[in-house]
Structure 1
Amino acid sequence: MSMSLEELSNADISMTSAAKKEQSINDIPSAAYVITNEMIRRSGVRSIAEALALAPGVQVTRIAEYNWQVSLRGLNSILFNQLLVMIDGRSVFSPLMSGTFWHTIDTLFEDIERIEIIRGTAGTMWGGNAANGVINIITKNSKDTQGHYAEIAQGERNYQEVNYRYGTRFNDQLTARGYVKGVVGDYYAINDDEWRNIRGGVRADYDDTSRKITVQAGGFETKSDHDWFYGSFDNIQPGSPILFNPSIIDVYSRGLYASLDWYESKGDTDYELHAWTDYNFTDEASAQGEFYTADVDALARTTLSDKHELTTGGGVRVIHRNTEPYPENFYANMEAWGRYSHDPKGTDVIVNGYMQLESHLTDKLTSVLGAKVEYFSLNDTVELQPEARILYKYNEEQQFWAGVGRAVVTPSFVASKTDMYQLSYGHPNEDGKYQINGMLITKANEDLGNESVVTVDMGHRYSPVPSLNIDSTVFYSQYYNTVMEDQRRLVSSDEVIGQPTQHSNIPVYLDSYNDDLDVKNYGFESAIRWTPFETLTFNTSYSFIQTEASCTGYTNCSADAVSGYKTKYIDQPAHYVSVQSLWDFAPGWQLDLWYKYKSEVSTDSYYAAPSISTVDLRLAWQHKSTWPRVEMVVDGFGENAYSDLPGLAPIEETIYFKASWNFQ
């Protein structure tokens, strides 16, 4: 039920995301971290997003019981898009915002081998969105998931989960598995608004001495029910109040995917081909639309000599979008907010080529030099993403590394092609209806520059004994063309959307995206793995992140501004702590605790927030490996209701029970 001391040593933890090849962490000249399967399982989390808080530098904010926003090295926002997220190398970003809808990212936890995290720029290898880092969720080879696996869970907030997976072997080279996963529960702790998620998938692996082929396919559907409002400007007498009517809204998200990964070795060269396609749809009011994506990438890794290795590659991605157009009568049936586009349909292309040279200059000194050129048809731009890194292995126990790189964010369809409207409203009247007080429209801007970041970082790894690993990093990042919103001004709606308001008592305000925000941040990250006894392990991380932002010419840029993007990025927690203890306190018994801390934001702004400290508890029993494993998990042990950020839904202590069984 636990890892050995040797397995916990950095020398025996490998990852593939840094250079698209398997490497020991000690050989990587970047800020690298691996969340193992055991760390995930024993944390008691119910989502991949929550598990990421185990890593240094990663900020996880819970929006609701089944929705999160995840950022890396600051700039935390719901539209955070400086982070590339993948499952087995397949990007799961949304072309709408170039970010990630985390409530749609899930798989069977038992089948996750590890989660690899690269902090800092990784544009040469991965391109768009690998600006602040990369998260790659690596699932197990099907040869390692043979037989039956079943799991059931139930707990507070109407939480229920049922999972099943079956793996089979056709011959010595070919194996396969299939799984299905279903979850229901309350989307918000304070409401009975049901959340449902069902997903499934299959994977087949062919392995021989010089060739490996993996084929995967699957899909998901999520649905949540919420209290909602709608209003109509039609048939209202001028001067009369316009009211919202209460209603119920069903929000759907659906997706399908298929992928092929081909690895082949011939002489001194390794070849890889990766192809995937997916379809995603949601009818959520602020993100409504469907996207079809096809992606092909190929690389060749050649050993030039005993000291030099050259990797070259390239790829193309085609994205067809079909988003919501402006309705003929914008005011006929208005929801609390929504998003429309004057250019709802189109096909966008991303093309890239890259080269990276790894050189062993001496027995102790290794350099990595590379660059990627990437073209984005959405705004007809070409970007260069270079990187230079160096690793010095002082001895087997200590390594020093440093690097500098530039990476860009994939242009966002949200900011360049869509308009967002929001209706403001006051308290309900005695009939339970809300009066509409005004409208804010955030206008698209097709002239935005591509967001980019240049990061300089350096780090040190130290493992005096196999049971202790200390990993430390310092970094400084300068951001360019960071998107914010313009000064709000009163306008007539026909100036914005071509349809005038029918009532002068409803003021219309206009915002527009621009790229005039100057942002820089710096910080320190540390991770310590310590196993003082074979039965006790501590996984600890600490992050300090400080962000500076400035702009001129807009109301929210003033020194005393209390809201807006500048203030949001400045007024974020500076300190994050995670301490996970894994204790096998008796034969067959495990007691695991996970302490998380987020420092306060003490300002006069809208984003001021108290510090948050939580403890999650897991108690598990398994008589022997062929028996079911039974677990009790307490999320937020002893905690009163709190919010991860101001204005978000409250989070409360939650208890659930789980039973799982691996059997042939």
Structure 2
Amino acid sequence: MSCYVNANDLDILLAMSLEDLSNTDISVTSAAKKPQNIEDIPAAVYVITNEQIRRSGVRSVAEALALAPGVQVTRISEFNWQVSLRSLNEVLFNKLLVMIDGRSVYSPLMSGTFWHTIDALFQDIDRIEVIRGTAGTMWGGNAANGVVNIITKSSTDTQGHYAEVAAGEKDYQEFNYRYGFSLDDNTTARFYMKGVTSDYYLVNDDSWRNLSGGFRADHNVDNRNISVQAGGYQTRSQHYWFYGNFYLPPEDVFTNTTLNVFARGAYASFDWIEQYNDKTTYELHLWADANSTNEPSAQGEFYTLDLDTLAHHALSEKHQLTAGGGVRVIHRRTESYPDDFYSHVEPWGRYSHDPIGTDFIVNGYGQIESQLNDQWFSTIGAKIEYFSLNDSVEFQPQARFLYRHNDQQQFWFGAGRAAVTPSFVESKTDSYILGTVGITDGNGNIIDSRPTVVYTVNNQNLKNETVRTIDAGYRYSPTHSLSIDNTIFYSKYKNLRMEGDRAWACVYGECIDGSTLPYEIFTLINTFSDGLNADSYGFETAIQWQPLSALKLNTSYSYMKTNAECSGSAGCDANATSGYRLMYDHQPAHFASIQSLWQITPAWQLDLWLKYKSKVEADVPAFSAPSITTLDVRLAWQQKPCWPRIEWIIDGIGKDPYEDLPGKSLIEETFFMRAAWDLP
């Protein structure tokens, strides 16, 4: 292999338009479970390309999602994040379906996504597809606000050796390796391993590490494509911790200790796609995984087996039917209440009265795509889904239309309904947090204090969370170097989760059921409620522009606003100072991202990423937050294609310690270096 780039080839590369670099051979499969060009999809779609990910300088998939409009990425610690789509931002965000090659990575242990466990070799990611809006017809539960599908490359496209090392501040170190090879003329494979270590928090020496690895094989012959994948991960972090034994004397109640948290998992998947004839294609997707963690608020393990089958059939030249069905079985094992809870009380945790169980989900769906005339196209479909956990059935329809004015302009609009998969976290488990209650005299002065355990107990009568969304969009590509994609949306949520009214169950250790607790403990009880509804609306735009042959700009902006209302809780009162209603009403409204990719010379790249989050003004100080603007810088050098690529990256250049949202851990400017070597 030659280590030199032909000058003419380089000139051609630098002269390629944005469309050539970003959209050539890129199709979206998450919208209709089949390859489609973006301009043919009547929905809000954004594709984060491999180039955008690599040149953003990010160290995680979660960070890269901030490139897409409508996505809110909040950094919890050095290596943990919460991600939401179209407002309702919270740690336990259950309205976004996250997948890797169509395999769900949603965790029943927390009713959300453990983002610090989702890792992949960036070099092997082909693209990340972000579908904004309801996608329940194709994907079912949890695709309420949208879908994130991380699409990895075929092993055919990842042949040879790839190695990457990185190191930087906060004790950050990383090593990645992948090797791809051919088994025969039609079969290729690869395996990879990845290891990361770092501080978990800025303010102390808590350590964090992640080890992961995997295998993929692809067999392509005639009209048949088969893919087999398997892999696993383990994360570990160490934290300063304590627990209380309330049977001991006051001076000995609390014991300082170290908490060693782990999360581990393994998966395997099998995908078969076969073109039966010119009109029909069949697909079979089967995957299984096993996951466990000892994190106190999500302790337990679960095992999932998922089968999905579908067929694409051309009814005529202008009508195509997609129909399918599937079943998912989830077996869970969670922590039961200990025999004596008050002899070992962690700062927070979760226990269950029904620690072992098996749930299943069954669905069937159909969708018809039609060409109504030369300019109008429609997509109409529905899914019926049964959830055994609460014996419920959800109907999730959608209707979408696209008007192709010409090759440069398309208009689309749609409406749909989606449901959130019911969670055993809310219906089968109780969470708690340890605190202190201040005891006051008649003048309001604190004269004493007592330990308090605040419980949020389960509710088996919760209705499923649902959302109805209408949205519309306009795509405009006046030239090959400029693309504009605009979307407006309105969503109506029902039965959102919140905490109900609180009531004291025990005061000075004397409980209303006649029992007595040690150490004059207070306990406060609240129950999960579904009495919260909300409306959200907003505007999203993505602009891709290549003003010069060596300079590209990827820009996104989002405006999102939520209005919530509820009943049955003190947090619903007009003078409330806490609660989910206030949290939803007081979130940043404006988000902006500008990524510039500059090929200074054939050997040098300079990439900048500016991110902005607007301030939050609230009468309650706990919900107020300043605006946040950060600038990430990446400088890269690679003299020849077979030489290593050296990168210098500053995350949040010049940024002093700050909270990404109120109550989150401090983060600040971080510098690291990375070297990658790709040998086909």
Cross-structure match for 2:268? 258
Residue number among 530, 545, 559 corresponding to 2:545 in the alignment: 530
Q: Does 1:60 align with 2:73?
A: yes
**Letter of the structure 2 residue corresponding to residue 78 of structure 1:** V
Cross-structure match for 2:453? 439
Structure 1 unaligned regions, length at least 5? 428-434
- Distance in 1 (alpha carbons) for counterparts of 2:189 and 2:26: 25
The offset of 1:11, in angstroms, is 7.4
- Distance in 2 (alpha carbons) for counterparts of 1:261 and 1:73: 31
1:156-555 map, 5 Å: 156-236=169-249, 240=250, 243-267=253-277, 268-425=279-436, 437-492=451-506, 500-503=515-518, 505-555=520-570
Residue number among 559, 576, 593 corresponding to 2:608 in the alignment: 593
Summarize the Cα distance change of 1:305–1:497 in structure 2 as closer, same or farther, 3 Å threshold.
farther
Contact 1:153–1:162 (8 Å) recurs in 2: yes
- Distance in 2 (alpha carbons) for counterparts of 1:28 and 1:203: 29
- Distance in 2 (alpha carbons) for counterparts of 1:295 and 1:549: 35
The offset of 1:383, in angstroms, is 0.5
**Letter of the structure 2 residue corresponding to residue 360 of structure 1:** Q
Contact 1:115–1:138 (8 Å) recurs in 2: yes
Contact 1:152–1:161 (8 Å) recurs in 2: yes
Summarize the Cα distance change of 1:258–1:496 in structure 2 as closer, same or farther, 3 Å threshold.
farther
**Letter of the structure 2 residue corresponding to residue 630 of structure 1:** I
Q: Does 1:140 align with 2:153?
A: yes
Q: SS state of the match for residue 201, structure 2?
A: coil
Contact 1:108–1:181 (8 Å) recurs in 2: yes
- Distance in 2 (alpha carbons) for counterparts of 1:302 and 1:530: 37
Report Cα offsets for 1:382-433 as digits up to 9, x if no partner.
0000000001110000000000000000111111110011101499xxxxxx
Q: Does 1:655 align with 2:666?
A: no
The offset of 1:499, in angstroms, is 10
Contact 1:242–1:436 (8 Å) recurs in 2: no
The offset of 1:551, in angstroms, is 1.2
- Distance in 1 (alpha carbons) for counterparts of 2:106 and 2:510: 33
**Letter of the structure 2 residue corresponding to residue 161 of structure 1:** E
Contact 1:222–1:252 (8 Å) recurs in 2: yes
Cross-structure match for 1:432? none
Contact 1:548–1:570 (8 Å) recurs in 2: yes
- Distance in 1 (alpha carbons) for counterparts of 2:390 and 2:345: 31
Q: Does 1:620 align with 2:636?
A: yes
Contact 1:98–1:129 (8 Å) recurs in 2: no
Report Cα offsets for 1:571-602 as digits up to 9, x if no partner.
00000000000000122100000000000001
Contact 1:98–1:409 (8 Å) recurs in 2: no
The offset of 1:604, in angstroms, is 2.1
Summarize the Cα distance change of 1:461–1:504 in structure 2 as closer, same or farther, 3 Å threshold.
same
The offset of 1:559, in angstroms, is 1.3
- Distance in 1 (alpha carbons) for counterparts of 2:462 and 2:23: 43
**Letter of the structure 2 residue corresponding to residue 230 of structure 1:** Y
The offset of 1:561, in angstroms, is 1.6
The offset of 1:243, in angstroms, is 3.7
The offset of 1:299, in angstroms, is 0.1
The offset of 1:336, in angstroms, is 0.5
Summarize the Cα distance change of 1:357–1:242 in structure 2 as closer, same or farther, 3 Å threshold.
farther
Q: Does 1:37 align with 2:42?
A: no
The offset of 1:96, in angstroms, is 2.4
Q: SS state of the match for residue 254, structure 2?
A: strand
Q: SS state of the match for residue 316, structure 2?
A: coil
Cross-structure match for 2:444? none
- Distance in 2 (alpha carbons) for counterparts of 1:84 and 1:358: 23
Summarize the Cα distance change of 1:153–1:218 in structure 2 as closer, same or farther, 3 Å threshold.
same
Cross-structure match for 1:430? none
- Distance in 2 (alpha carbons) for counterparts of 1:501 and 1:402: 61
Q: SS state of the match for residue 451, structure 2?
A: strand
- Distance in 2 (alpha carbons) for counterparts of 1:46 and 1:500: 52
- Distance in 1 (alpha carbons) for counterparts of 2:606 and 2:248: 64
Report Cα offsets for 1:445-490 as digits up to 9, x if no partner.
0000010100000000000011110000000000011111012221
Residue number among 107, 116, 128 corresponding to 1:115 in the alignment: 128
- Distance in 2 (alpha carbons) for counterparts of 1:375 and 1:495: 44
Cross-structure match for 1:104? 117
Q: SS state of the match for residue 170, structure 1?
A: strand
Summarize the Cα distance change of 1:496–1:457 in structure 2 as closer, same or farther, 3 Å threshold.
farther
Q: Greater shift after overlay, 405-414 or 242-251?
A: 242-251
Contact 1:112–1:139 (8 Å) recurs in 2: yes
Cross-structure match for 1:634? 650
The offset of 1:439, in angstroms, is 1.2
The offset of 1:516, in angstroms, is 0.4
Percent identity over the alignment is 60
Contact 1:244–1:436 (8 Å) recurs in 2: no
- Distance in 2 (alpha carbons) for counterparts of 1:147 and 1:53: 31
User: How many residue pairs align between the two structures?
Assistant: 655
Contact 1:122–1:407 (8 Å) recurs in 2: yes
> TM-score normalized by structure 1?
0.96
- Distance in 2 (alpha carbons) for counterparts of 1:603 and 1:395: 46
Contact 1:283–1:289 (8 Å) recurs in 2: yes
Summarize the Cα distance change of 1:471–1:498 in structure 2 as closer, same or farther, 3 Å threshold.
farther
Report Cα offsets for 1:32-67 as digits up to 9, x if no partner.
000000000000000000000000000000000111
Report Cα offsets for 1:489-539 as digits up to 9, x if no partner.
211399999995523632111111010001110000000000111100000
1:50-89 map, 5 Å: 50-89=63-102
**Letter of the structure 2 residue corresponding to residue 467 of structure 1:** S
Q: Greater shift after overlay, 451-460 or 418-427?
A: 418-427
Contact 1:11–1:25 (8 Å) recurs in 2: no
Contact 1:420–1:441 (8 Å) recurs in 2: yes
> TM-score normalized by structure 2?
0.94
- Distance in 1 (alpha carbons) for counterparts of 2:100 and 2:393: 27
Summarize the Cα distance change of 1:497–1:541 in structure 2 as closer, same or farther, 3 Å threshold.
farther
Q: SS state of the match for residue 513, structure 1?
A: strand
Contact 1:10–1:26 (8 Å) recurs in 2: no
- Distance in 2 (alpha carbons) for counterparts of 1:503 and 1:291: 35
Cross-structure match for 1:431? none
Contact 2:247–2:253 (8 Å) recurs in 1: no
Q: Does 1:24 align with 2:37?
A: yes
Residue number among 50, 59, 72 corresponding to 1:46 in the alignment: 59
Report Cα offsets for 1:83-109 as digits up to 9, x if no partner.
000000000000223311101111111
The offset of 1:12, in angstroms, is 5.7
**Letter of the structure 2 residue corresponding to residue 291 of structure 1:** F
**Letter of the structure 2 residue corresponding to residue 663 of structure 1:** L
- Distance in 1 (alpha carbons) for counterparts of 2:245 and 2:22: 63
Contact 1:9–1:468 (8 Å) recurs in 2: no
Q: SS state of the match for residue 368, structure 1?
A: strand
